[in-house]
Structure 1
């Protein structure tokens, strides 16, 4: 069990390492695919580092793809209320898009706290989740060991805020969750460097996963 001091120091290191990404302009109309992204803790508003995966899908897909970032605090302290705000905000975006564009395939992506947000939206069975075609989670603090959709090396370890085992089973075939051994947040380890490395290590695989799920 990590001490509060250890967690605080690790969180401080994560704040320093956070990467800012410009906010993409909201997409209008009904594309074939719409990607909703939730950034990591402490990142500036926008898609954050996982936006590179979004861009990969946009550039490689043969379909029209629109994108949108969840507007939420993404704070480490207080984490619980920040994450809850993210869930509420993503639910609104999901319901709005699926109502306006019922034939559009939805992709959810989240990094760190954003992955926690995305998973909780699915777990809640929010309006529009039946339109979700693919989900990419990177460094999910609610990671649960042994789930069929795990893609990283942390197959035997839970995250700091592990959700109930099997909570996302209804979406298992649509999820790719990347978490490696040693990650402070998704594997209860001690490393923030590992936590920040998923786009570099798994970004290409994540893009391919999404393209396969949406049909190219």
Structure 2
């Protein structure tokens, strides 16, 4: 899912929930390119059609944008689970897009943000989640990327442990020492305008995730989740 004010896609698909073309944003598209380059993986990429409106007066515009995104994303995840039952769903979001994904998965959000409850079938189809530069970032969470020892929260910090239920068994190929591990991973760069509440000085940092090594790290995380033994 694209971030705030990144270009929308064109056309309409899946009942208007997604774009027919484009609309991923630079960071998400960068990760998608890793998937596209692996010819052994049958990957289908789609971008959610939602406003991605900036946080500016009236400030309800951003909240409404996130809420629209949550509702449409939940509807699309439910649709994919019912119409493509053998498909694994991989959720990748940058900035506001990451905020939308985080809110949808948590089912418990601060006042003014809506909540949804995914069906067990829809939940079971989500195999990996990548969050980049989210305003809902909270330090010290088990799904935060390694070497991300941040101490500052984002503009809309999530409740502690809000994604702790999103885990899957992982471990050795011989099924020993397998433990529940997060299927989500979150990146937040030091000094970021929104996930580190450093607006406006941190805008350059915020806009350049797509150029960073985190894109390859994110794809590596996703790849491990979808190719490891069940």
Normalised-by-shorter TM-score class:
0.7 to 0.9
1:42 alignment counterpart: 5
CA contact (8 A) 1:154 1:180 kept: no
1:82 alignment counterpart: 65
CA contact (8 A) 1:178 1:198 kept: no
Aligned pairs, how many?
Answer: 179
1:184 aligns with 2:162: no
C-alpha distance after superposition, 1:147-182 (max 9, x if no partner) = 111126352221100111101101251111110111
User: Runs of at least 4 residues of structure 1 off by over 6 A?
Assistant: none
Tell me the CA shift for residue 208 of structure 1.
0.9
Q: Distance in 2 between matches of 1:95 and 1:81?
A: 21
- Structure number with higher helix proportion: 1
Tell me the CA shift for residue 129 of structure 1.
2.2
2:118 alignment counterpart: 126
1:174 aligns with 2:169: no
| Aligned with residue 136 of structure 1, among 130, 134, 137 | 130
CA contact (8 A) 2:94 2:133 kept: yes
Q: Distance in 1 between matches of 2:149 and 2:48?
A: 27
TM-score for both structures, normalised by structure 1: 0.78
Could you say which structure has the larger radius of gyration?
Answer: 2
Q: Could you list the runs of 5+ residues in structure 2 that have no partner in the other structure?
A: 9-22, 108-116, 168-181
Tell me the CA shift for residue 66 of structure 1.
0.7
CA contact (8 A) 1:142 1:186 kept: yes
Give the secondary-structure state (helix, strand or coil) at the position aligned to 2:50. coil
1:161 aligns with 2:128: no
Q: Distance in 2 between matches of 1:141 and 1:212?
A: 26
Q: Distance in 2 between matches of 1:61 and 1:193?
A: 34
1:200 alignment counterpart: 211
TM-score for both structures, normalised by structure 2: 0.74
Q: Could you list the runs of 5+ residues in structure 1 that have no partner in the other structure?
A: 1-37
CA contact (8 A) 2:35 2:41 kept: no
CA contact (8 A) 1:61 1:211 kept: no
Aligned residues: CA RMSD: 1.5
1:11 alignment counterpart: none
